[in-house]
């Protein structure tokens, strides 16, 4: 499933990676990776939101070269594309999260370790460069506290607290792919079943079926923050008022995200939610975005609408499936090369120079509503 392929045969872009991974992965794993919730309206919206913006480049900028480097939470990184937290990388490649962590390190960017990783924190951390730990808050607060302590002592540079999963949504394609029966849930190593099996959701809908704490609220954030000195980012923010609350509760960053369309179906596309969140944050913290980022021009559009950086979710799994560590490294390199080219074509020397002026809404050009 994960035999290395010669680099000449590697896909040319992320869309080709998706097609190649689909051909390689067992159907239940493919279903797990691509699944969205409900009718997958939000999965599609995440992608189509990028198409509603056009780039308005400037000419004769006199650049000999451009840089894709930037900073996130004050830390320098080589490109404004991070690895989003996603579970069970060993389903796609034997080396799983260790391969992903090494690829991110080689690319000079941040790896975000999922609470639902298929290796233990301490098994992945030695392979990682700069990495963040993604936390689900469990009803077992002692276990939650223990995870934070383990992540901190293993060297995590920040905590990404995912706030859009009070309960796990229903994902029909995953259920149809019989992911649970197939044994995919058993791939989680970090803790007690972070994502409860669809069968359990069937049997007893609602909070009793899950280990996530649906009652976790703004009031509990102070408790969470008191457990470690690590900066906290909240992942899954879509409403500008929630971004304001995040800052009021001490968050150093927010990740505008709808979980790649895997939670509330019909939720607003991440890119569409970004401008209002960025305006609410007003430069007081870092705003990041994930959901549907597949091209250098997508990165550019997100930066123009107020993101400091973006994260990729599903593409990591495609890279692992096609060529393991080399595949993830190549995916990041493709995005870096595309972004570099796009910056040059727009006459912009670096991500810091990207502004709202770069974008025109597509419908004002076509006359359509």
Question: Residue numbers of the site for ligand FMN (CB under 6 A)?
Answer: 32-33, 46, 84-87, 114-116, 134, 162, 235, 257, 259-260, 262, 290-293, 312-314, 317
Q: In angstroms, give the least distance from the CB of 285 to ligand FMN.
A: 18
Q: In angstroms, give the least distance from the CB of 369 to ligand FMN.
A: 27
Q: In angstroms, give the least distance from the CB of 260 to ligand FMN.
A: 3
By DSSP bridging, strand 309-312 and strand 359-361 are unpaired
Closer of 83 and 323 to ligand FMN (Cβ)? 83
Residue with tokens 């979980």: 259
Q: Rounded to whole angstroms, what are the CA distances from 360 to 56, 89, 339, 356, 364?
A: 7, 38, 19, 9, 7
Could you tell me the two tokens for 201? 């959701």
Could you tell me the two tokens for 283? 């430069």
Nearest CA among 303, 276, 280, 281 for reference residue 289: 303
Q: In angstroms, give the least distance from the CB of 60 to ligand FMN.
A: 35
Closer of 91 and 348 to ligand FMN (Cβ)? 91
Q: How many CB atoms lie within 10 A of CB 69?
A: 14
Closer of 115 and 228 to ligand FMN (Cβ)? 115
Where do runs of H (alpha helix) occur along the chain? 14-24, 27-34, 41-51, 96-107, 121-124, 141-154, 172-176, 179-182, 198-203, 218-226, 240-248, 270-281, 296-304, 314-346, 362-366
Q: In angstroms, give the least distance from the CB of 84 to ligand FMN.
A: 4
Closer of 107 and 116 to ligand FMN (Cβ)? 116
**Is 152 buried (19+), middle (13-18) or exposed (0-12) by CB count in 10 A?**
middle
Rounded-to-integer distance, Cα 224 and Cα 202, Å: 31
Closer of 66 and 306 to ligand FMN (Cβ)? 306
Residue of minimal Cβ distance to ligand FMN: 313
Q: In angstroms, give the least distance from the CB of 315 to ligand FMN.
A: 6
Could you tell me the two tokens for 157? 């540079």
- In DSSP terms, 76 is beta-bridged to 71
Chain centroid offset of residue 199 CA: 26
Closer of 66 and 134 to ligand FMN (Cβ)? 134
By DSSP bridging, strand 75-77 and strand 70-72 are antiparallel
Closer of 66 and 110 to ligand FMN (Cβ)? 110
Rounded-to-integer distance, Cα 148 and Cα 157, Å: 11
Are 73 and 158 contacting, i.e. CB atoms less than 8 angstroms apart?
yes
Are 253 and 286 contacting, i.e. CB atoms less than 8 angstroms apart?
yes
Catalytic positions are 259
User: Where does residue 359 fall: left (phi above 0), alpha (psi -120 to 50 degrees), or beta otherwise?
Assistant: beta
Q: In angstroms, give the least distance from the CB of 1 to ligand FMN.
A: 16
């Amino acid at each position: 499933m994960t035999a290395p392929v010669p680099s000449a045969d590697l896909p040319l872009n992320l869309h080709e990676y998706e097609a190649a991974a689909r051909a390689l992965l067992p159907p239940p794993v493919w279903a797990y990776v691509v699944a969205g919730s409900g009718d997958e309206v939000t999965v599609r919206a995440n992608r189509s939101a990028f198409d509603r913006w056009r780039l308005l480049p400037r000419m004769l900028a006199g650049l000999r070269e451009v840089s894709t480097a930037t900073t996130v939470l004050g830390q320098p990184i080589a490109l404004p594309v991070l690895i989003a937290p996603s579970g069970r990388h060993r389903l796609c490649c034997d080396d799983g999260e260790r391969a992903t962590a090494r690829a991110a390190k080689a690319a000079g960017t941040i790896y975000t370790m999922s609470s639902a990783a298929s290796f233990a924190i301490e098994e992945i951390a030695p392979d990682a460069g700069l990495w963040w730990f993604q936390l689900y808050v469990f009803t077992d607060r002692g276990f939650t506290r223990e995870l934070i302590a383990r992540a901190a002592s293993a060297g995590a540079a920040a905590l990404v607290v995912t706030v859009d999963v009070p309960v796990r949504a229903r994902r029909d394609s995953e259920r149809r792919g019989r992911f649970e029966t197939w044994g995919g849930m058993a791939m989680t190593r970090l803790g007690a079943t972070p994502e409860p099996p669809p069968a359990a959701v069937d049997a007893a809908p609602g909070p009793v079926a899950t280990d996530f704490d649906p009652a976790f609220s703004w009031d509990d954030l102070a408790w969470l923050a008191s457990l470690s000195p690590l900066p906290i980012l909240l992942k899954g923010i879509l409403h500008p008022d929630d971004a304001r609350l995040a800052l009021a509760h001490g968050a150093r960053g927010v990740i505008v995200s709808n979980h790649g369309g895997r939670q509330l179906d019909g939720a607003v596309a991440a890119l569409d939610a970004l401008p209002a969140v960025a305006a609410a944050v007003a430069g007081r913290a870092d705003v990041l975005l994930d959901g549907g980022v597949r091209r250098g021009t997508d990165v550019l559009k997100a930066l123009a609408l107020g993101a400091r950086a973006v994260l990729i979710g599903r593409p990591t799994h495609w890279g692992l499936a096609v060529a393991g560590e080399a595949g993830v490294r190549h995916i990041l390199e493709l995005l870096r090369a595309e972004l570099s080219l796009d910056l040059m074509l727009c006459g912009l020397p670096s991500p810091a120079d990207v502004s709202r002026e770069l974008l025109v809404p597509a419908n004002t050009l076509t006359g359509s509503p």
